[in-house]
Amino acid sequence: MNFPGIAGWPDAPGWAIFVGQLGRALVIGSVGAYLLAVFAWLIQARRPSLEKWGKIAFWAGSLALWGTIVCLGALFVGEQFEFNYVRNGIQAGLEIKYRIAAIWAHQEGSFLLWACTSALFGVLAAPKTGICRRWFTIGYSTFLASIGGILAYETPFKLDPLIHGRILLPPNGAGLTPALQNYWVVIHPPTIFMGFGSLTVLFCWALAALLTPGARDWVKGVRPWALVSLAVLGLGLCMGGFWAYETLGWGGFWAWDPVENVSFVPWMFVATLVHGIIVQTARGSWVRANLLLGGLPFLAFVYGTFLTRSGMYADVSVHSFAQMNSVALKILIGFLGLAMLGFLGIWAWRSSSLARGGPIPPKAKGPNREAFYRLGTVVLAGIGVATAIGMSVPLIMALGGQKAKVVEERLYHQVLGWFVVPMLILMAVAPFVSWRGLPWRELGARILNAFSFAVLVAGASLFVARSPSWGVGLAGDERVNFAFGTTIPTVVWIGILLFLCAFTALANLQRLAEHWRKSKMGVGGFVSHLGVATVLAGLALSRGFERKETVVLQEDAPAQALGYLISYRSRTADDMTDRDNKVIFDVAGPSGGFEARPGLYYTGVEEGQPSPMVWPHIERGLSHDMYFTLHPPQFDLWEQPIQLKPGQTINQDGITATFEHLTMKGQPGQMGTQFGALMKFKTQRGAFETQPTLEITPKGLHPHLARIDQDLIVSLQAVDPATRSATVQVHFAKPLYPVDLFYKPMTILVWLGAGILTFGGLLTAAYRRPARAKAADAAKEAA
Amino acid sequence: MNSSNRRSGQLHVVTAIIVLAGLAAIIFAFVSNASPYGTFADARRSGGNSIHVAGELLKETLDIDARHGILRFAMKDEKGEQMTVEYTGAPPSSLSEATRVVAIGGVKNGVFHSDKLLLKCPSRYEAKAKTVKR
């Protein structure tokens, strides 16, 4: 490796080398411990005394993994740049919260975080698995040993011997990418990885139930874990959407990017499982389906991880994925193949015996809850499967030897719309249906109130939203594409979605109120459905009725967008590398205004490659958000300097420039000597003569800008004494600020719905803890 | 085999057929309507306006008309063909760093018109690339 100034670097501190070696040893130790756990539990049937060692080994492996992440954290906090992973992850002086977050900002760390959260759920869930514990631990340990194996090959503790085997401490690192330096990087990945970790519990429990005779009741034990998984993964998905909304500047929450889908697909399968468990618990049916659904979320996540880490998505995602080390990728593929074929094979082998001998539930008459759940699970699983297919299109094309294709946002909406509409209808109607069934007429009477109010709410919302005074006014000719080339007006489609969301929300609110008297804790399901309807209504309204206008303004030249007058005021920092710098704009509207403070700063200035970073400003309101995206300011009319010979005239970017000849004040080579370029310009404002200069200073050549007219200035970049030519560049006298202004109605519903959804999920999980569930069953029997 | 078992077996077959037909329909819907990746020659041939062309951005040709929100640059596709790309929209950040670009659009009068760019920057960092939409 070649680093400037390497001779002055000190030796890396001994403690850091020790911590790095300890981290490496702990990874290898965790693999050993988990393999020991597998071995001990495998032969535990013949030697029961080994069960204790199996438990100890599982704990030891988990402690080793947690120790590993602590070691890595210590190296980040201590800014130990002699480690490749640390050097590529942070720069000196980074805030401590980002130094910690940098642990999972790259591939190796995200695998470590996945392993740690999985281990946490593993040690918590294992004692609750009862007769399934043996196979649960074997499956779990195999998975964690595989991840440990990946981390052993793709280690975050790699050192570079820089000079003759000596380990030196570089003074700085490449840095955490500025786009990631946001509070969401601190809280979103740990949250969503807690969700991913929880999927391992569901998978291993289902696997263990398949392999353990008499484990038909596994769903009672796994139910609270599935609910926690649903709630935490859902919260993580929402956080990811909020992160995109607050930082990416395109005004949306969700774009169906492969990395988003990798989280979304397992979440849909967990939602399917949770509904399947309800049927099995109440009716004793769906045994085989639930065992399959227990494994699918985890398999889908591992499959998605493979897709995004395989390098196949290099060009089709807004995320950059580092390609995995080939051995590590082979371990991941091996584990995926083993888990997929093994699980599905065992499920197919065991399903025929599981189908026999179960209790036969009494037949229901008319529309009944089981039938609605059946339809609901088909729809939920359909959303998951369809999304998985959409994200697999590049793989499908590659397998067919075809050129790559990519599925865009609108196509996901077109296909998934066919599932979302029935899903919302089922979510609205199913809570009114009983297990025993009821006549259609009675069902109609039960849902009539919610249905009627939903029509009213949707109609009133559309009326209000279409009112010009609210500023929405969707163009009447905008249409949404459906299958077979059909289209419908966007406003009709948004109206349908709004009605369905209102219907679902009102129906579940009604059931919640009716159920509240019986069991306050037992209303979690209704609360969750209310949350889903609220989020979807927020997404439909804020995207469907979104309005956007792009304008360019300057310091003394305000611009008008969406009826608002936008004027530049100032910026908060003189130093444009200050990442807290805000550019302040006054935004004045007919019914009040606000101060927009989008972020703008530059990185790479020291390296001579300034790169702008911008953050949007969001003016939040109860009825709508004003989303203000500042694009990088433009300073140059001519993007590149142009070399001109004496007497040469050019037309470039709407102006005519003629270079007359070079001038000089002073002696060549002496300090203070100025070279000038006498130039004539014809601009929209008239004809002008001017002379930019270049002065010899102790720090090198210093350009003095010359004004062309009130809008433009010119700089002399270089002179060539041999040809008497000059290299000049024309700039704006004041920078141009391109701005996108979005009007986004009812985005508050997205935030509100996410909170309601998570609360509902956690409430249900708490209510469905086995001890509580047992007490509730006993109370029911007594009644 | 009694009639109940036979009915159950028939139901399973029908369910399997419906599931497989559904899967086939979803795969067909996605694959046939997905936006293709290709070269400038493919874009010229297809006449479509959502072709994804990946290639090298030739920085010296970069020309930004910020007042009108137009960005022009020359791009070399995977086959080495060079074409002017005209992007409509605000100039994206990280443009100066970008080495590889995916331009989404279509060819008209010998120019590739795009309203969406995917920029890939050389990775000092390893994080989100920028997607820019009009």
User: Does one domain contain both A100 and A228?
Assistant: no
pLDDT score for A739: 94
A254 — phi, psi (to 5°)? -145, 135
Cα angle for residues A648, A654, A659 (degrees, 5° grid): 20
Q: Residue A61, Cα to own-chain centre: how many angstroms?
A: 30
**Which residues, other chains included, contact A714 with Cβ-Cβ below 8 Å and sequence gap of 6+?**
A657, A679, A681, A690, A692, A705, A706, A708, A728, A729, A730, A731
Q: Alpha helices, DSSP H only, in A284-368?
A: 287-309, 326-355
pLDDT score for A475: 56
**Which residues, other chains included, contact A355 with Cβ-Cβ below 8 Å and sequence gap of 6+?**
A287, A288
- Residue A481 lies inside a defined structural domain of this protein: no
User: Does one domain contain both A620 and A674?
Assistant: no
- CATH value at residue A41: 1.20.120
Distance in Å from the first CA to the final CA of chain A: 77
- Residue A209 lies inside a defined structural domain of this protein: no
Domain count, chain A: 4
- Residue A664 lies inside a defined structural domain of this protein: yes
- For B40-84, the pLDDT digits (tens) are 999 998 887 888 898 888 888 888 888 888 889 999 998 999 999
User: Does one domain contain both A664 and A613?
Assistant: no
User: Does one domain contain both A166 and A278?
Assistant: no
Is there a contact between A738 and B69 if contact means CB atoms under 8 Å apart? yes
CA nearest to A642 within chain B: B60
- For B81-103, the pLDDT digits (tens) are 999 999 998 877 767 667 788 89
pLDDT score for A273: 96
Using an 8 Å CB-CB cutoff, list chain A residues near B127: 105, 177, 179-180, 319-320
Closest-CA distance, B91 to chain A, in angstroms, reads 7
What amino acid is encoded at B7 in this protein?
R
- Residue A486 lies inside a defined structural domain of this protein: no
User: Does one domain contain both A650 and A608?
Assistant: no
CA nearest to A385 within chain B: B23
- Residue A661 lies inside a defined structural domain of this protein: yes
pLDDT score for A346: 93
The beta strands (E) that lie in A576-724 are given as 583-589, 592-596, 599-603, 611-615, 617-619, 624-630, 634-636, 642-644, 649-652, 655-665, 674-683, 686-690, 693-697, 700-704, 706-707, 712-720
CA nearest to B32 within chain A: A405
Residue A639 has its nearest CB partner, among B42, B62, B89, at B62
User: Does one domain contain both A234 and A334?
Assistant: yes
User: Does one domain contain both A244 and A271?
Assistant: yes
pLDDT score for A608: 74
**Which residues, other chains included, contact A667 with Cβ-Cβ below 8 Å and sequence gap of 6+?**
A673
A177 — phi, psi (to 5°)? -50, 135
User: Does one domain contain both A575 and A622?
Assistant: yes
Residue B97 has its nearest CB partner, among A611, A629, A631, at A611
User: Does one domain contain both A566 and A700?
Assistant: no
Asked if B41 contacts B52 with a C-beta cutoff of 8 angstroms, the reply is no
The beta strands (E) that lie in A405-561 are given as 405-406, 479-481, 487-489, 547-553, 559-561
Using an 8 Å CB-CB cutoff, list chain B residues near A629: 90
Q: B131 pLDDT exceeds 50? A: no
The whole domain housing A662 covers 646-723
Is there a contact between A320 and B130 if contact means CB atoms under 8 Å apart? no
- Residue A64 lies inside a defined structural domain of this protein: yes
User: Does one domain contain both A558 and A693?
Assistant: no
Closest-CA distance, B90 to chain A, in angstroms, reads 6
pLDDT score for A167: 86
pLDDT score for A534: 96
Of A376, A410, A438, which residue constitutes the final position of a domain?
A438
Long-range pairs, B72-75, Cβ under 8 A, ≥24: B75/B101, B75/B103, B75/B112
A691 — phi, psi (to 5°)? -145, 95
- Residue A128 lies inside a defined structural domain of this protein: yes
Is there a contact between A396 and B31 if contact means CB atoms under 8 Å apart? yes
User: Does one domain contain both A263 and A369?
Assistant: yes
Residue B33 has its nearest CB partner, among A179, A389, A411, at A411
pLDDT score for A3: 61
User: Does one domain contain both A554 and A663?
Assistant: no
Using an 8 Å CB-CB cutoff, list chain B residues near A634: 64, 66, 91
Strand partners, A629: A740
**Which residues, other chains included, contact A200 with Cβ-Cβ below 8 Å and sequence gap of 6+?**
A118, A121, A122, A140, A143, A298
Q: Which residues of chain A have pLDDT under 50?
A: 780-783
Is there a contact between B34 and A406 if contact means CB atoms under 8 Å apart? yes
